[in-house]
């Protein structure tokens, strides 16, 4: 089943997160964002040249807004991984699906439309899970990282709204990702120059390459899952990244998560999956629930 490519993508995202956690011992967050984005940017530029495709877009301002929100989300998530357990940081970022659902509820209220109370209830339960995940992090040492992880999920949801807008306007996925990566290159380099560039070591370079390669391959696997698999199954399989990240964090970094944190992680996963399932009838897809191929994934570490 093509949807199973999402399991590959999720595992690679979790590995990327682990590499980021290790790379922060050698580089600043802005540098990691720069190098991670550079690999993706060069790979997609080479792909466009090979296929004879045009990188120019008629929607530069939408790409800019999406790129700024996405790069900010990525930077905050990278920072969160430096302090929080890897599974906790991943969970807070993947809560973006709850924020997307919350935006939909707020939009319905603002437009005077009928509220989907099942969706609204699911969002509230999910936010309860967020509070449970944050609760162990609300100490002086981890508070900033917890807030950063929370903000990364919010900004990821904002970025996704722009991604959906680009999809509706017919912008192909690869070009959307290219301009996101390009924005990351520019903003990451600017931040790195301001903070100061770090000296390279063989180990550091290997980690940077691993981050760029795993992120790019994961994105390709995820795009294939959404392009050829079943939307609902694929969207729910994305939460396996939280499971993979938690296992890696416990096994590799000896992460310790309090019982309430485990409960919060489970709550967010269940609520996020339900939020994906509970949609207005008009939003449901036909033909076996296959996606519109123009619409990329609903969030995640790529923002």
- Between CA 68 and CA 244 the distance in angstroms is 28
pLDDT tier at 183 (50, 70, 90 boundaries)?
very high
Count how many residues are written for the chain: 303
In this structure, what token pair is assigned to residue 131? Answer: 């509070």
Residue 93 has pLDDT above 50, yes or no: yes
267: how many CB neighbours lie within 10 A of its CB?
A: 20
Classify 116 in phi/psi space as left (phi over 0), alpha (psi -120 to 50) or beta: beta
Please give the Cα distance from 216 to 57 (Å, whole number): 21
Task: Flag whether pLDDT at 248 surpasses 90.
Answer: yes
- Residue that wins the pLDDT comparison between 219 and 215: 215
What pLDDT is attached to residue 282? Answer: 41
How far is it, in rounded angstroms, from Cα 46 to Cα 290? 29
Tokens 């990525």 label which residue?
A: 74
| pLDDT score for 1 | 64
Placement of tokens 């437009």 in the chain: 111
Q: Which residues contact 258 (CB under 8 A, 6 or more apart)?
A: 135, 136
> pLDDT for 261-293, tens place per residue?
888 888 888 888 887 777 554 443 333 333 344
Distance (Å, rounded) from C-alpha 62 to C-alpha 299? Answer: 17
CA-CA distances (angstroms) from residue 268 to 88, 104, 120, 132, 296? 11, 18, 14, 10, 22
Say how far apart CA 63 and CA 54 lie, in whole Å: 15
Q: Quick: pLDDT tens for 124-173.
A: 888 888 888 877 655 666 888 888 988 998 898 888 788 878 888 888 88
Percentage, residues of the chain above pLDDT 70: 87
Number of Cβ within 10 Å of residue 109's Cβ equals 12
Q: Is 77 left (phi over 0), alpha (psi -120 to 50) or beta?
A: alpha
Q: Report the SS3 class of residue 282.
A: helix
């Amino acid at each position: 089943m093509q949807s199973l490519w999402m399991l590959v993508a999720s595992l690679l995202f979790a590995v990327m997160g682990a590499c980021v956690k290790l790379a922060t011992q050698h580089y600043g967050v802005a540098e990691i964002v720069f190098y991670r984005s550079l690999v993706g940017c060069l790979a997609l530029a080479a792909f466009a040249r090979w296929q004879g495709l045009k990188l120019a877009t008629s929607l530069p301002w939408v790409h800019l807004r999406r790129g700024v929100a996405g790069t900010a989300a990525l930077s905050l998530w990278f920072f969160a991984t430096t302090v929080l357990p890897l599974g906790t940081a991943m969970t807070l970022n993947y809560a973006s699906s709850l924020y997307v659902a919350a935006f939909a509820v707020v939009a319905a209220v603002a437009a005077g439309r009928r509220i989907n109370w099942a969706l609204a209830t699911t969002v509230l339960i999910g936010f309860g899970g967020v509070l449970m995940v944050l609760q162990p992090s609300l100490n002086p040492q981890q508070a900033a990282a917890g807030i950063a992880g929370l903000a990364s999920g919010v900004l990821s949801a904002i970025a996704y709204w722009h991604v959906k807008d680009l999809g509706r306007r017919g912008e192909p996925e690869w070009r959307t990702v290219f301009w996101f990566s390009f924005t990351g290159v520019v903003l990451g380099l600017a931040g790195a120059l301001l903070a100061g560039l770090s000296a390279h070591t063989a180990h550091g370079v290997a980690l940077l390459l691993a981050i760029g390669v795993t992120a790019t391959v994961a994105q390709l696997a995820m795009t294939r899952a959404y392009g050829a698999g079943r939307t609902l199954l694929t969207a729910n399989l994305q939460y396996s990244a939280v499971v993979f990240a938690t296992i890696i964090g416990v096994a590799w970094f000896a992460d310790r998560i309090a019982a309430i944190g485990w409960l919060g992680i489970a709550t967010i996963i269940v609520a996020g999956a339900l939020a994906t399932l509970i949609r207005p009838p008009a939003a449901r897809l036909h033909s076996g629930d296959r996606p519109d191929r123009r619409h990329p994934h609903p969030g995640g570490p790529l923002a």
